[in-house]
Amino acid sequence: MSKAKIGMWLYSNGGGGKISKNIIKKLQERDIETLDNVNLRHAIAKNGNILYDDIKLNKLDLFFSYNASEQTQYQMYLYQALNRAIPMINSYDAFSLTEDKFHTSFVLRNHGVKTADYKLCHRDDGYHLKRIMKKWDKMVYKPTDGWGGVGLTKIENEANLDMLMPFLNQMDLRYFYVEKFIDYDNTDFRIDIVNGKFVSCYGRKSSSDDWRTNVTSGGSIFMREANDEIVDIAKKATKACKVDIAGVDIIYDREKEEYIVLEVNGIPAFATPEQEKLGLNFNDKKIDLIVDLIDKKIKVSKKIKENIYE
């Protein structure tokens, strides 16, 4: 059997460079060669191939894509095409699902995973929002493809909504997505799962003047123990979304007295060097599980190919 070869594109900020090196080394030990820094931005598709320099990416055994900050429409378009030819981690379908908050909530609910109550309506049916507001008391408007808490707007009363509507109407949106505002203690759990296995748990808390826990919204990370219930929920959410690697955000709804999933992230960051100093020491475990996963996926896909061409 010829030596397996994969393509990889992993973020390089926040300690990502060191993580890449580690993954490449561990793959090498399993006789898997890695073509690093394959940014699809610089690839071109030509007839049956996706070319990166002279390399046919569609002939690789697998592609590992792990760079959240630099995903353009072009890259996503090639991601989708490439995944029709070779296995990818995460798969295009699963990754694009987690990139959309409505689709994620919809899938989670259909798999019995609790989320915040939500509604989606056509932009011309904004009157729905008024009716919902009466029922929910407070709600959150969310862009369905956002990240880092950007664009989230808390709507506390009907006057707020009346003020917001003209802005939303100007934005040429196709639809409105709103969630019931959950009464929680401004902290969350981030659970990392790789290949269905629990990797790590940490918490985030919002700053005193914000209700969002995102670090980009002033939130901070703290050490936090998981419990069986949370880990089960995270595994169930990961399975529902069919992601091989996930970071599941969970908060505790004080009114309903239950945990709910806020988000499933398809590219959850490794611990940064600063966070490692804080005690978040899950990077090695996560790397080992990812290397295992890559190895396993390559073997499975080789088996499938052998069977087809026999």
Residue numbers 99-118 binding ligand ADP by CB under 6 A: 101, 116
CB of 254 to ligand ADP, least distance (A): 11
Smallest separation (angstroms) from ligand ADP to the CB of 181 = 5
Question: 179 or 263, CB closer to Mg ion?
Answer: 263
In the block, tokens 């793959």 appear at 27
Is the distance from CB of 104 to CB of 98 less than 8 angstroms?
Answer: yes
H or E stretch covering 236? helix 228-241
Single out the segment in contact with Mg ion by CB under 5 A; choices: 3-11, 30-38, 110-118, 259-267.
259-267
Shorter beta-carbon distance to ligand ADP: residue 7 or 149:
149
* Residue 117 contacts Mg ion per CB under 5 A: no
CB 38, min distance to ligand ADP, A: 26
Q: Which H/E stretch holds residue 201?
A: strand 197-205
Strand, helix or coil at 178?
A: strand
Which one of residues 18, 127, 146, 296 is an interface residue with ligand ADP (CB under 6 A)?
146
Element holding 213 (H helix, E strand)? none
- How far is residue 178's CA from residue 49's CA, in Å, rounded to a whole number? 41
SS3 state of residue 3: coil
Separation of CA 66 from chain center: 10
Cα dihedral across residues 111, 113, 119, 123: positive or negative: negative
Residue 78 binds which entry of ligand ADP, Mg ion, none, with Cβ cut-offs from 5 to 8 Å by kind? none
Per CB under 6 A, contacts with ligand ADP among 225-284 are 249, 262-263
> How does strand 139-141 pair with strand 49-52?
unpaired
Q: Which of 214, 218, 235, 252 binds ligand ADP (CB under 6 A)?
A: 214
Cα–Cα distance for residue pair 139/132, rounded to 1 Å: 9
Which residue from 8, 38, 50, 140 is in contact with ligand ADP, where contact means CB under 6 A? 140
| 61, 188, 192, 244: residue in contact with ligand ADP (rule CB under 6 A) | 188
Site for ligand ADP, rule CB under 6 A: 101, 116, 140, 142, 146-150, 152, 179, 181-182, 188, 206, 211-214, 249, 262-263
